[in-house]
Structure 1
Amino acid sequence: MTRHSVMLLEERCKGCTLCVTRCPTEAIRVRGGKAFIITERCIDCGECIRVCPHHAKSVRSDALEAALALETPVAMVAPSFYGQFKSAIPVEDLLGALKSLGFAGVEEVALGAEIVTEATARILEGEDAPRPLISSSCPAVVRLVEVRFPALLSSLVPLPSPMEVAARLIKRHYGESASPVFITPCPAKITDSRHPLFASASSVAAAVPVRDLFAAVVKAVGRGRVDSTAGKTGILWGRSGGESRSVAPGEGIAVDGIRNVSLLLEKIDSGNSEGISFIEAMACPGGCVGGALQVENPFMARSRLAARAEQAGRESSEASRTEKREFLLETRVMTRENRVMALDADPARALEKLERLEALTEDLPALDCGSCGAPNCRALAEDIVQGRGKETDCVFVLRSKIRKLTEEMIALDDQRGSIGT
């Protein structure tokens, strides 16, 4: 069974290669006029979902009906959720509307964000903490580090995500049999709920995309109210800059958008951190408000979220602060097995493949046109080495071979003609 939430709807694919050129980990190829995903490279960032004009990329998620059928389903609302709705609708009404859909309760992930904020700040205070420390709150970024920047794995914050912390709190409140249901803004968090980054199993029972229940929530506004305990710090986690502002004010930077994140990590990987203490990196534009499974324009949602944070006018409630202090005492630094990509599990074979890859790259035209169905010439060379492609997938190599064959045939025909005379 696949570990990934992003999937391809082959019948809709036109083979246009737009997703191929936009994938940050070169995980997509087009062969035979159809795209396919190299699963070990995919980070579930949702960029292909965002850019495909034919809607040929989709997501494996849980249906709302299936989630509501679980034992004691409790909705988990991420801070970015609030930015999807008009500011005139109070947060309490949104929470009430969501609960009225059939949930046993509704809880805010903002408290989990506050807990992770404080725990991260404590790690950063330690003398042996890596500099810069890189946030692990975005699972797509963590997987990007695994695939492209394995040397930076030790720089990731070794803590569970706010989503996971919130799910554990729900089980504490409602009982171990409760089913936390995350209302997710992106595919990466669906994957993280099924195959968590810093734990053997997740406390999240299901993940339902925001876009799948947005209309139902709007229609249900006015059916009830649920008090909000979210504070300004937790709410601002839903947009880029919110985490770094709280964890390392004046010492951290925030970057959003998967390409921007990749460019920054390239600099950090080369040793150029310029005295930065903390990096908040979010794969989606504007942060979680720009998730591929959201409905609102990310810039509009970002503005709304900032306004809602100011309206909160406080940090979390006293009860939440007490619970946060108690939970922090139980927080443990997590470790995980690194899944670094290699050309082959056997080091000797991997070296042989690398040498062949380099030689093939030299022979290819270095035009990076994408006509072969790979994002660039080096990626095609890797495909050839791994048995996923052949040299004649390159139209220029194919044209050269055809030209050479034609010249040989003409020469042979001329030779036969001269013999006949």
Structure 2
Amino acid sequence: MGRLFGTDGVRGLANAELTAEFAVQVAQAAAATLARPAAEKPTAVVGRDPRASGEMLEAAVVAGLASAGVDVLRVGVLPTPAVAYLTGALDACLGVMISASHNPMPDNGIKIFAAGGRKLGDDAEDRIEAAVGATGARPTGASIGRIRTVDDAAERYLAHVASAQVHPLTGLKVVVDCANGAASDVAPRAYAAAGAEVLAIHADPDGLNINDDCGSTHLESLRKAVVDNDADLGLAHDGDADRCLAIDAGGSVVDGDAIMSVLAIAMAESGELVDRTLVATVMSNLGLHLAMRDAGITVRTTAVGDRYVLEGLAEGGFSLGGEQSGHIVLPGFATTGDGILTGLRLMGRVAETGTPLAELASAMTTLPQILVNVRVTDKAAVAAAPAVLDAVRAVEDELGDSGRVLLRPSGTEQLVRVMVEASDVAEARRLADELAEVVAAV
């Protein structure tokens, strides 16, 4: 059996791989691992996105927690960052978000937060995995967990993100694509409360339409809506709203790297950017590195995955980090990526400067980036093979300062990922294909 936890919780096809019975066991294991000793019963916050299987899995998770002696605070359909925030704000021992993020509707997942709303490290995940299915005495009588609903959960989260807004959005018109997901209610409310004129699309979840040709992985309808409605910009969230991508007034995509460049420059000017340092993954475009160098900002790189961005931020006490995919983390306000918070800060910069998003994003020029996945039998051995390393060095010498090579084993499959950036897309393609041929031949 492979490791239970992936890069962001436990995921699988709902009611096939991720069953109600298994969800009960995961919840019980999380309670046994994370519930801190206390005179009173420990508590857990549980939320979900609106996909249909979430109703079943929420019931299972709540039952598992209560059966382990944990009082459960149900917060309903809310974004992942809201559940993380409320875990801390309500002084819970742990939080559980039932969501498969940007995955299609048939999938679902269980994300677990430790006290304070913080993501779990490998050690905590391993301890939970080891406890799954464990048998033993269960509490009885008054020691069984109780379950109640937090009626003002959305309002608590909205007040929290409003506190991070630095400039009113009066005069801005924004189209927000809610992916028929967890942001469908709170995202339009947050942006309107900050002063923006809001047009919400894909904000009518029915349990089946989450991420269906909409949201941050399907930007076509948002691009059209921004142009057709003469909006200043558009924002796209994924199913659990921990991501945010943007569209400028002309319909061009502003990805996570470009959003980070805008926010980093703004925070450097205001003195918020600790040590003038941005934390990004190795997959961020070289154009981001060049733009930050020109702005006098250091980029510190991490492995791929927002958990590694969070680790990098914590290690240095830094104040901004993220991924190209739109996971942006502002540790002063959130313990995880928060798409709504990102949208507020990005629009705040547009409103504060009176500068269109396209012009702000132009501080970064995105270099063509070609990624080739090569299937192999032993990814670690192939990636470290002398012939492969020699080929990488040769390409790096050819590119010089005008490009970049990244070759790494996949974290989940027997693949070696070959990524080449260059000033010209044809050159990037040629070099990536040449490297891929060497990898395949080893």
TM-score where L is the length of structure 1? 0.27
Bigger share in strand: 2
Bigger share in helix: 1
Larger radius of gyration: 1
Of structures 1 and 2, the one with the larger relative CO (CA 8 A, separation 6+) is 1
